Amino acid sequence: MCYPSIKDYIKGHAERIERELAACLPAEWQVPAVLRESMDYSLMAGGKRMRPIMVIAAAEACNGSADAALPVACAVEMVHTYSLIHDDLPALDNDDYRRGRLTNHKMFGDATAILAGDALLTHAFFAAARTARQHGISADRVLAVIEDLAEYAGPRGMVGGQVADMLGEQGLTKLEELEYIHLHKTSDLIVFSLKAGGRIGGATERQLQALETFGTNIGLAFQIQDDILDVVGDASKLGKAVRSDEKMQKVTYPYFIGLDASRQKVKELTEQGKEAIVRAEIPDPERLLQLADYLMQRDH
Amino acid sequence: MCYPSIKDYIKGHAERIERELAACLPAEWQVPAVLRESMDYSLMAGGKRMRPIMVIAAAEACNGSADAALPVACAVEMVHTYSLIHDDLPALDNDDYRRGRLTNHKMFGDATAILAGDALLTHAFFAAARTARQHGISADRVLAVIEDLAEYAGPRGMVGGQVADMLGEQGLTKLEELEYIHLHKTSDLIVFSLKAGGRIGGATERQLQALETFGTNIGLAFQIQDDILDVVGDASKLGKAVRSDEKMQKVTYPYFIGLDASRQKVKELTEQGKEAIVRAEIPDPERLLQLADYLMQRDH
């Protein structure tokens, strides 16, 4: 498929991902109706689908196919979605709205929301294990992707970041600790997405290393941009309340270094990430580079 | 290692499993201290370790080694432990004690308990993916184990059973629905354990099928025995309050068919399970058969 601009590329792939996600839980499976409904509710709630698009873009950059990358793309979106459901719970961030709709627990109750999150996390590994094999990718390669997913999403990865975020309060957290939170809570799943795409496409170790550096940098830039938008963004575009970090006394980059220096940091990180990709001679890097610029300029 | 009786066999392997579990989160990993502590608290809280022992017993029955089975044995215990942590939460069963100690959320708070559960579930896949490979088992075989784990623990498996259990109340649930709950909430992880052991040992399709039948039957028997012990058991042996099902208005086998018929059902299921193993000519079935009898006779 030929997409003239990065916006078309994102839109086109997001639509494919939506279709695949809608079918990810086989219709013939006997699953309690409320569980299926609750999983679908959050999985199909829109969202930018940035992580699955990164899986596909990285696969294509390394001469792999979008088809082969699609199952793992769905897996990472399931992991991202479960993390949002659990993060929104009253025991954690206690959010009533997400992407302009009621959060999962407001719709289905806390118990079902907890279990729907658990089910999505578990099913992500099913999707990755089963369907990636259907595209003729070797078991060794799929296993490396699964190992990465468990590492980047687990206790030393995303969940570690969530715990650190929960513990962090304004006045108590240093800038280095904030970086730990952002790197794990946000960058880790982005790094996973890029490396998984690379592995599916057959990237060399050097290229995987470059994808990791790229992901770490644009992941951190992505989260700082989120922090900035929470201060200066438009609630209707964002689909959620602004200035929530201030209200929740959350530490952020703007809190520590101000808005201008935060914007500068987003630019620098993006450039550093792009350089890593260029230096590693990834076969077809254009979409990845465009994606990095697109993320830096987004307003939602 | 030679163990004279099934009790010695269980004790010996439980000790090996304990040592392996204690080391399952690499010491050099940078994980927030409270997360590590909370994961360890529940993982190292004792328990019968029946599921990991089943992985090992099934592997040995199919001429595999306990060493090769140990990582997957730990993985299934992590999944079991996460399910208990989430199940005990105020939004679900709201239990204060488990195995004679405070439940995870009573010790660490709801937020940490939710995230510790998430971390254990995720890390189970890491343990299964990474360490099984270290014992020279083919990537294809490890991948089949991971696919099974995600299926038996996921929305059509254990989590589906949890949701159905949460919805079930006395007077509203039929015996067939209770069977669905027991089969998924309890049997599925037991079936996984036996099949995973079989796969590691190199079982044929026919033998895997027999292990599945065995697991379904003794899993259901295991849960009915739990229901019986909740009525007639000794709280000090069980390490938890008795008659909680009645208080929580939970449906159980004794509730539907009475204690005597429930005991008879446990016996029948155990015999049917054992027959399947014998018929499939599993190379060395003795420990599996003994394990089934041991579970039927247990008082805690």
Interface test with chain B among A112, A156, A172, by most B beta carbons within 10 Å: A156
Question: Which residue of chain B comes nearest to A83, CA vs CA?
Answer: B118
Which residues, given as ranges, of chain B have pLDDT below 70?
A: 1, 132, 169-172, 239-240
Place of tokens 């163990």: B3
Q: Tokens standing for A80?
A: 């991202």
- Closest Cα partner for B152 from B298, B44, B51? B51
The DSSP code for A187 is I
Contacts of A92 in chain B (CB under 8 A): 111, 114
Distance CA B125, CA B146 (A): 7
Contacts of B133 in chain A (CB under 8 A): 143
Of the partner residues A89, A142, A146, the one whose CB lies closest to the CB of residue B125: A146
Interface test with chain B among A76, A115, A140, A179, by most B beta carbons within 10 Å: A115
Q: Tokens standing for B107?
A: 């010790």
- Closest Cα partner for A179 from A214, A208, A216, A124? A216
Q: Please tell me the predicted confidence (pLDDT) of residue A176.
A: 87
Contact (CB, 8 A) for A149 and A125: yes
Identify the bridge partners of residue A102 per DSSP, sorted by sequence position.
Answer: A97
Q: Please tell me the predicted confidence (pLDDT) of residue B235.
A: 75
B32, A117: Cβ pair inside 8 Å?
A: no
Of the partner residues A83, A126, A156, the one whose CB lies closest to the CB of residue B151: A126
State ipTM: 0.95
Contacts of A154 in chain B (CB under 8 A): 119, 122-123, 126
Distance CA A73, CA A147 (A): 15
Q: Please tell me the predicted confidence (pLDDT) of residue A139.
A: 93
Q: Tokens standing for B255?
A: 């509730």
Q: Please tell me the predicted confidence (pLDDT) of residue A171.
A: 67
pLDDT digits (tens, 9 = 90+) for B40-54: 999 999 888 999 999
The shortest C-alpha distance from A260 to chain B (Å) reads 31
Of the partner residues A83, A115, A163, the one whose CB lies closest to the CB of residue B32: A163
Q: Please tell me the predicted confidence (pLDDT) of residue A251.
A: 79
Contact (CB, 8 A) for A122 and A73: no
pLDDT digits (tens, 9 = 90+) for B111-131: 999 999 999 999 999 999 987
Of the partner residues B31, B117, B154, the one whose CB lies closest to the CB of residue A156: B31
Helix, strand, or coil (residue A63): coil
Q: Tokens standing for A268?
A: 């620098």
Domain ranges of chain B: 6-297
Q: Please tell me the predicted confidence (pLDDT) of residue B300.
A: 76
Of the partner residues B39, B91, B129, the one whose CB lies closest to the CB of residue A155: B39
The shortest C-alpha distance from B5 to chain A (Å) reads 37
The shortest C-alpha distance from B202 to chain A (Å) reads 17
Distance CA A43, CA A102 (A): 13
- Closest Cα partner for B196 from B66, B29, B59, B62? B59
SS3 string of chain B?
Answer: CCCCCHHHHHHHHHHHHHHHHHCCCCCCCCCCHHHHHHHHHHHCCCCCCHHHHHHHHHHHHCCCCHHHHHHHHHHHHHHHHHHHHHHHCCCCCCCCEECCEECHHHHHCHHHHHHHHHHHHHHHHHHHHHHHHCCCCCHHHHHHHHHHHHHHHCCCCHHHHHHHHHHCCCCCCCHHHHHHHHHHHHHHHHHHHHHHHHHHHCCCHHHHHHHHHHHHHHHHHHHHHHHHHHHHCCHHHHCCCCCHHHHCCCCCHHHHHHHHHHHHHHHHHHHHHHHHHHHCCCCCCHHHHHHHHHHHHCCC
The H-or-E segment that residue A20 falls in is helix A6-22
The shortest C-alpha distance from B249 to chain A (Å) reads 17
Highest CATH level, class, for B6-297? mainly alpha
Q: Please tell me the predicted confidence (pLDDT) of residue B1.
A: 62
Q: Please tell me the predicted confidence (pLDDT) of residue B233.
A: 77
- Closest Cα partner for A31 from B272, B159, B111, B127? B159
Strand residues in A59-100 grouped as ranges (E): 97-98
Interface test with chain B among A28, A118, A148, A179, by most B beta carbons within 10 Å: A118
Of the partner residues B30, B34, B130, the one whose CB lies closest to the CB of residue A156: B30
Is domain A6-295 classified as CATH 1.10.600.10? yes
Of the partner residues B124, B126, B160, the one whose CB lies closest to the CB of residue A35: B160
Distance CA B251, CA A203 (A): 54
Contact (CB, 8 A) for A180 and A165: no
The shortest C-alpha distance from A122 to chain B (Å) reads 5
Question: Which residue of chain A comes nearest to B40, CA vs CA?
Answer: A155
Which residues, given as ranges, of chain A have pLDDT below 70?
A: 1, 132, 169-172, 239-240
B125, A125: Cβ pair inside 8 Å?
A: yes
Contacts of A109 in chain B (CB under 8 A): 91
Contacts of A34 in chain B (CB under 8 A): 163, 167
Q: Please tell me the predicted confidence (pLDDT) of residue A19.
A: 96
Q: Tokens standing for B280?
A: 């499939």
Distance CA B170, CA A113 (A): 23
B150, A117: Cβ pair inside 8 Å?
A: no
Question: Which residue of chain B comes nearest to A166, CA vs CA?
Answer: B111
Contact (CB, 8 A) for A129 and A142: yes
Helix, strand, or coil (residue A3): coil
Contacts of A162 in chain B (CB under 8 A): 115, 118
Contacts of B86 in chain A (CB under 8 A): 114-115, 118
